[in-house]
Amino acid sequence: MPTGSIYSGLIVPETIAVLSQPKGARTGTMGGIMALRISKLGAKGALVEGRVRDVRYLKESLDMPVWFNVPIHVGPTKVEPNDIILLDPAENGAICIPKDKLDQVLEMLPGIAAADERKMGHVLNGMSVEEAAKIC
C-alpha cells in the first residue's frame, strides 16, 4: 500500500478486501465508516485478520459479508493481489489459492474429494481414521 494511503480508497471493484491488522494497532482494522467506503467502491466483502467493529451494521445495513480473525499468513503463505480467496460464510473460514497454483489445485480436487468419500465410508463402517487414511 502506498505510504500515507488509507486502504478504503484503494479498493478494486468486484473484489474481496483482504486486510491485516498492523502490529501494535489499537483501533479496529475495519468498522462502519471503512466498510461503507469500500462498499461504495464496489467491494463484495472483506477478509480481516484483526479487529472488526460494527459487525451488525456491516451485515444488516451494508449487506457486507465479513470474515474476521482468520489468519491470512500461514507459514510461508502470503496473500498477494489476484490470489483466489474462497470464503465459507457457514463455517466463517477462508482459504487462499495463489493465482499461479489454481490449475494445480483444480486438478487435485476431484481426487481429494473422492479419497475423502472413501475414508468417510470406511470410518462409517467402523475403521479408524488412521487405517482409512492408509488404504485411501
Q: Residue 47: its pLDDT value, please? A: 86
Mean pLDDT of the chain: 83
What's the pLDDT band for 105 if we cut at 50, 70, 90? very high
Q: Is 54 annotated as a binding residue?
A: yes
One domain for residues 13 and 49: yes
Q: Is 38 annotated as a binding residue?
A: no
Q: Is 30 annotated as a binding residue?
A: no
Q: Residue 77: its pLDDT value, please? A: 63
Q: Residue 72: its pLDDT value, please? A: 60
User: CB of 50 within 8 A of CB of 68?
Assistant: yes
Residue 95 has pLDDT above 60, yes or no: yes
Q: What is the extent of the structural domain holding 105? A: 100-136
> Which candidate, 83, 86, 87, places its Cα nearest to that of 99?
83
Alpha carbon of 41 to those of 9, 127, 135: distances in Å?
8, 52, 51
Q: Is 32 annotated as a binding residue?
A: yes
One domain for residues 109 and 81: no
One domain for residues 88 and 124: no
Q: How many angstroms separate the most distant Cα atoms in the chain?
A: 60
Q: Is 31 annotated as a binding residue?
A: yes
One domain for residues 43 and 82: yes
One domain for residues 104 and 45: no
One domain for residues 53 and 104: no
The most confident of the ranges 55-64, 83-92, 113-122 is 113-122
Q: Is 118 annotated as a binding residue?
A: no
Long-range contacts of 125-130 (CB under 8 A, 24+ apart): none
For 114, phi and psi rounded to 5 degrees?
-65, -45
Residue 89 has pLDDT above 70, yes or no: no
One domain for residues 110 and 52: no
One domain for residues 119 and 85: no
